[in-house]
Amino acid sequence: MQGASGVLAATPRSASVDLSTETREWLSNQTVEVSASISNAPFGTALHYEWELRDEADQVILQGSGAFQATGTVSQVMTNLKQFYNGDTFYRFSFSLLDQSNTTLSQDTHAFAVFHNSVMPQRANLLAFGDSLSDMGNAKNSILNVPDVPPYWQGRFSNGQVWVEYVSEAYGLSTTIGSGASVGDNRAFGGSQSGSGYSYLLLPNVGTQITNYLANVQTSIPSNEVVTLWAGGNDFLYGTANADTIAANMEAHVRQ
């Protein structure tokens, strides 16, 4: 509208709310910090806000409110969401800015995901018995000197670390190879089968790996140590090829 002086009168902008989080993916033990950026709210006017957090079933699991007064063109309101994880993955946070008559001036909704944070229990050691899928270098360190490096990686029958190394790292442990009377946590041999005895006359099968360990390193395995057993593939390649026999062997190894 043009006034008497010929200058257009400014039309006040509507207030707006913009929600954001540092990331859209959180762990269940983390505090989710939601930032509400409020723009163009009436300066110096007593306002208030309300917020709520809903889960996948659209149930309100957290809610809150507070007083607000704009201190500039853009003002920030931070909300910390703690200890709300209920097993759901997806959550929705809603924020409304209201005046003294409870009229909504602006609102916004922000969705994010929360994943369960699993804490690995403390363990003293990790022992590995098995074949090439777990072997970190025992076969390479033997008279057979296999596999060839390259193309294989650092004595593994793989192009990188084998699975048991990732498990060991997750527990914060350091696993080393060993066989016979030598000390070492990883006793697996590439080419080994389930059962006792030896493959190719040189490679200790899983039962023999366990027997040698108990005879030469420690006579029993403490309850705070993790033990992995993985074998059976070589039995089908050049061994018994009988699933019942392999299952019986593996059960016997667990009981050793």
Digit-coded pLDDT (tens) for 99-151: 999 999 999 999 999 999 877 788 999 999 999 999 999 999 998 899 999 99
**Which pLDDT score, from 0 to 100, does residue 64 have?**
97
State what percent of residues in the chain have pLDDT above 70. Answer: 95
> Quick check: 78 pLDDT over 80?
yes
pTM over 0.85: no
What are the chain's domains? Answer: 16-115 (2.60.40.10), 125-255 (no CATH)
Which whole number is the average pLDDT over 155-163? Answer: 95
Cβ partners under 8 Å of residue 4, min gap 6: none
∠ CA(77), CA(79), CA(83), 5° rounding?
A: 180
> Quick check: 53 pLDDT over 70?
yes
> Quick check: 7 pLDDT over 60?
no
CB 32 within 8 A of CB 113: no
Which whole number is the average pLDDT over 24-41? Answer: 95
Q: What stretch of H or E contains 110?
A: strand 104-115
- Condensed to tens digits (0 to 9), the pLDDT of residues 202-253 reads 899 999 999 999 999 999 999 999 999 999 999 999 888 899 999 999 999 9
Cα-only R_g, the chain: 32
- Condensed to tens digits (0 to 9), the pLDDT of residues 145-155 reads 999 999 999 99
**Which pLDDT score, from 0 to 100, does residue 12 have?**
55
Which whole number is the average pLDDT over 71-77? Answer: 91
**Which pLDDT score, from 0 to 100, does residue 4 have?**
40
Structure-model confidence comparison of residues 56 and 181, the more confident one: 56
Which whole number is the average pLDDT over 180-200? Answer: 93
Structure-model confidence comparison of residues 5 and 69, the more confident one: 69
Q: How far apart are CA 22 and CA 150, in angstroms?
A: 44
